[in-house]
A = this chain, B = another copy of it.
Amino acid sequence: MANVVEVVTKSILKIGQDDPRRVIHSMKVGLAVTLVSLFYYFRSIYQDLGTTALWAVLTVVVVFEFSVGATLGKGLNRTMATLIGGVLAVGVHGLATQCGHIAEPFLISIFVFFQASLSTYARFCPKIKARYDYAFLIFILTFSFISISGFRVRDIIDLARDRWATILIGVFGSLLVSILVFPVWAGQDLHNLIANNLHKLAISLDGYGNTYFKIKENDATHEIDTPKLQTYKNVFNTKGAEETLANFAKWEPSHGCFRYKHPWKQYLKLGALSRECAYKIDALDERLKVNIKVNENDHVHKFRAICNRMTVEASKTLKEQASALKSMTRTRTRTRTRTRTSSCKVYVAKSKEEMKSLQDLLKSTTLWKDNEDQLLHVISATTIISILTDIVTCTEKIANCT
C-alpha cells in the first residue's frame, strides 16, 4: 500500500518536474476561473446578465489552453461563432414566429436539423478542421441553443446578446491571464522543439562515431552508451506535436523575435527533414548492431577513421544549425547566423570529400579481393558508407533549409 502511494506521488511530482510550466499553467487556470467568477458576485453585473453570467466561467474553463496561441485561437473561434450563430438564430426565430405557435417548433426543428448536418459536414473539410473546427462546433451549439430557446423565452435578442457578452468576458479574462502571467508561446515551443530535435540527432551521431568508428587504443573496447546512441528515436514521434504547435503559433501576435506571420511552415519542413535523418540513423544503428568480428588492419583503420570524420562533420553541421536556431531568438544578429551557416557548408563539403576517399579506398584495397570470406564485411562496409552518405546529404538539406 505504502509502495503504491510512493509510486503515485512520484509520478505526480514527475509531471511538474518534466515541465515546471505545467504547475504555473494549472494555477493560471484556477486564477482565471476565480477572477471571472467574481463578476457573478457583483450585484450590478448579476442584475444585468442574470444566470447567464455563469457562461463566462464556463468559457474560461473550456477556452483556457496551455499556450497563448491555443487560447487565442479557441477564444476567437468561440466569440465569432457565438456572434454569427446568435444572429442567425434570432433571424430564424423571427421567421418561425411569423408562421404561428403550432408551426413554430416544426420549422425550428427543420432549421436546426439542416444547420447541424451542414455544419458537421463542413467540419470534415481538412482546412476547416485544422483551424476552425471549434468554431463550427460552437456555431451549431449557439444556433441550436438560441433558436430552440425562442420557443419558451420571449426576449430572445436579450438572451443572444447576454450570451455573447458573457463569452466575450470569459475569453477576455482567459487571454489576460494567459498573456500577462508567465505566458507560454506556442511559437517559442515549436522553435525549441525543432532546435532540440536537431541537437538530439547530433548527439546520437557523435555517439556512433565514438562507439564504432574511433580507432581503439591499446585494444580497449569502447563502452556502448545505449541511451545516448538512441537519443535520435525521440525525433520519430514529434510530428503531431510540431503540427499542433505550428497551428497554434499562427494565432499568436508578435512576441520576442517572432513577428506575426513568422514562417512557421519552414519549421515543419525542418521537422520533416530531421525525421528523415533520424530514420537514416536508425538504418545505421541496425547495421552497426550486427557486430562482425574484423581483423584489425590498416585498411580497417583507414575505413574507421574516415567514417568517424564523416559522423563528426555531420554532427557538427546539425549542432551548428541547432544553436543558430536557438541563438536567433536571443541575439538576432543575422551576420552570426550567416557565418554559422557558411561553416555548416564547409562541414558538408568536407563530409563529401571523405565519402569520395572512402570509395577510392574500397577501389584500391585488395583486402576483399584476396579473401572471399571477407565478402560479408565488404557488404557491411559498403552499406555503412551509403547510409553515411545519405546522412551527410540530409544534413546538407537541413543546412540549406534554415
Interface residues of A (CB under 8 A from B): 11-12, 15-16, 22-23, 25-27, 29-31, 33-34, 37-38, 40-41, 46, 51, 54, 57-58, 61-62, 105, 109, 112-118, 120-121, 124-125, 137, 140-141, 144-145, 148-149, 151-153, 237, 239-240, 279, 282-283, 286-287, 359, 362-363, 369, 372, 375-376, 378-379, 382-383, 385-386, 390
Q: Is the Cβ of B148 less than 8 Å from the Cβ of A22?
A: no
Minimum CB–CB distance for A232 against chain B, Å:
13
Q: Which residues does chain B contribute within 8 Å of A383, judged by CB atoms?
A: 382-383, 386
Nearest CB in chain B to that of A38: its residue: B109
Q: Is the Cβ of A144 less than 8 Å from the Cβ of B15?
A: no
Nearest CB in chain B to that of A376: its residue: B359
Nearest CB in chain B to that of A57: its residue: B144
Cα distance A369–B22 in the bound complex, in angstroms: 64
Can you list 29 A-B contacts (CB < 8 A)?
A12-B125, A15-B124, A16-B121, A26-B116, A26-B120, A29-B117, A33-B113, A34-B112, A34-B113, A34-B116, A40-B148, A40-B151, A40-B152, A46-B152, A51-B149, A54-B149, A57-B144, A58-B141, A58-B145, A61-B137, A61-B140, A237-B239, A287-B386, A359-B376, A369-B369, A378-B382, A379-B385, A382-B382, A382-B383
Q: Is the Cβ of B390 less than 8 Å from the Cβ of A286?
A: yes
With A54-B149, A57-B148 known, 13 other A-B pairs at CB within 8 A are A23-B121, A29-B117, A29-B120, A37-B112, A54-B148, A61-B116, A61-B137, A279-B283, A283-B283, A363-B375, A369-B369, A379-B385, A382-B383
Q: Which residues does chain B contribute within 8 Å of A376, judged by CB atoms?
A: 359
Q: Which of B30, B141, B279 contacts A114 (CB 8 A)?
A: B30
Q: Which residues does chain B contribute within 8 Å of A51, judged by CB atoms?
A: 149, 152-153
Cα distance A38–B362 in the bound complex, in angstroms: 81
Nearest CB in chain B to that of A152: its residue: B46
Cα distance A105–B41 in the bound complex, in angstroms: 7
Q: Is the Cβ of A116 less than 8 Å from the Cβ of B30?
A: yes
Q: Is the Cβ of B372 less than 8 Å from the Cβ of A113?
A: no
Q: Is the Cβ of B286 less than 8 Å from the Cβ of A25?
A: no
Contacts A15-B125, A385-B379 hold; do A117 and B27 have CB atoms under 8 A apart?
yes
Nearest CB in chain B to that of A22: its residue: B124
Contacts A109-B34, A148-B54 hold; do A22 and B116 have CB atoms under 8 A apart?
no
Q: Is the Cβ of B15 less than 8 Å from the Cβ of A121?
A: yes
Q: Which residues does chain B contribute within 8 Å of A151, judged by CB atoms?
A: 40-41
Nearest CB in chain B to that of A8: its residue: B125
Nearest CB in chain B to that of A275: its residue: B236
Minimum CB–CB distance for A355 against chain B, Å:
12
Minimum CB–CB distance for A201 against chain B, Å:
16
Among A25, A30, A144, A379: residue with most chain B CB under 10 A: A30
Q: Which residues does chain B contribute within 8 Å of A37, judged by CB atoms?
A: 109, 112, 144, 148
Cα distance A58–B375 in the bound complex, in angstroms: 70
Minimum CB–CB distance for A311 against chain B, Å:
18
Nearest CB in chain B to that of A105: its residue: B41
Q: Is the Cβ of A22 less than 8 Å from the Cβ of B121?
A: yes
Q: Is the Cβ of A125 less than 8 Å from the Cβ of B362?
A: no
Q: Is the Cβ of A140 less than 8 Å from the Cβ of B33?
A: yes
Cα distance A377–B87 in the bound complex, in angstroms: 71
Q: Is the Cβ of B363 less than 8 Å from the Cβ of A372?
A: yes
Q: Is the Cβ of A54 less than 8 Å from the Cβ of B145?
A: yes
Minimum CB–CB distance for A191 against chain B, Å:
22
